[in-house]
Amino acid sequence: MGYFNMSYMLMVMLPGMVLSGLASFLVKSTFKRFETVGTSSNMTGAEAAQLMLQRQGVTDCRIEPVSGRLSDHYDPRDKTLRLSEPVYNARSISAIGVACHEAGHALQHAQGYKFLQMRSKLVPVTNISSKMSMPVLMGGMLLMSLAPALGTPVVLLGVALFSAAVVFSVVTLPVEWDASARAKKAMVAANIVNGEEARGASKVLNAAFLTYLASAIASIMTLLYYLHRSGLLRAFMSRR
């Protein structure tokens, strides 16, 4: 009943690593492919994001450069859109796609998008539960091999803690998809990109979404594995 064994490797770790690796490779290769392709508007990523927000009436969002590659994000706490160096000043399809996607999060915040609000509320809970869940699960699995009556409630606690991370990863999916959908429409409506350029930007955004999808699938697989190993999944199915 160990925490780490071959079945865990074959059922969870290996498929999760393959999914994550493929998604990461795809987003990096797609970004690189369009990183050297310019647009007819010749806008930088920062300029494109600013125009997108202005056209939607959002004027209280700051746009700042941040170090790193693909470290772009929107912080709803201080309404700041932080764009990485390859995006902020770059004039490529990749830069504009990523910048407008992050601007999409700012629009979600300004317009009270429900899933973004839900994800923001889950952040502090997820930060705590993600640190505690694995140690608790490991301890619970060990206890179950020695004293099942003591181990079961500990595993249940670990599953509950890990479930918060799973919920967070699932809620993230509509948030990211919607931000990209807003960006795809706004880029064309504001003449930031033309039709052909928009297709390239869409490929960049779709590839990026796959990283979130892979993360959600890996989290769900891990949760199901521990439910199975603890016998809780079997017990639940037998009651139906």
3-state secondary structure of 205: helix
152 domain residue, yes or no: yes
Sign of CA dihedral 169, 174, 177, 182: negative
Active-site position among 102, 176, 196, 197: 102
Amino acid at 179: A
16 domain residue, yes or no: yes
Amino acid at 134: M
Q: Which pLDDT score, from 0 to 100, does residue 2 have? A: 44
184 domain residue, yes or no: yes
Count: domains in the chain:
1
166 domain residue, yes or no: yes
CB-CB neighbours of 32 under 10 Å: 12
Strand arrangement, sheet containing 62-66: 62-66, 80-84, 73-75
1 domain residue, yes or no: no
Q: Which pLDDT score, from 0 to 100, does residue 1 have? A: 42
Active site residue 102: yes
From residue 228, how far is each of 168, 172, 224, 225 by CA, in Å?
A: 21, 25, 6, 5
Please list the pLDDT of the chain residue by residue as tens digits (240 residues). Answer: 444 456 655 666 677 788 888 888 999 999 999 999 999 999 999 999 999 999 999 999 999 999 988 899 999 999 999 999 889 999 999 999 999 999 999 999 999 999 999 999 999 999 999 899 989 988 888 887 788 788 888 888 999 999 999 999 999 999 999 999 999 999 999 999 999 999 999 999 999 999 999 999 988 888 888 777 766 666 666 665
73 domain residue, yes or no: yes
Task: Give me the DSSP letters along 54-81.
Answer: HHTT--S-EEEEESSSS--EEETTTTEE
**The token pair that represents 212 in the structure block:** 């979130």
Amino acid at 153: P
Query: Domain of 133?
Result: 6-239
Question: How would you classify residue 70: left for phi > 0, otherwise alpha for psi between -120 and 50, otherwise beta?
Answer: left
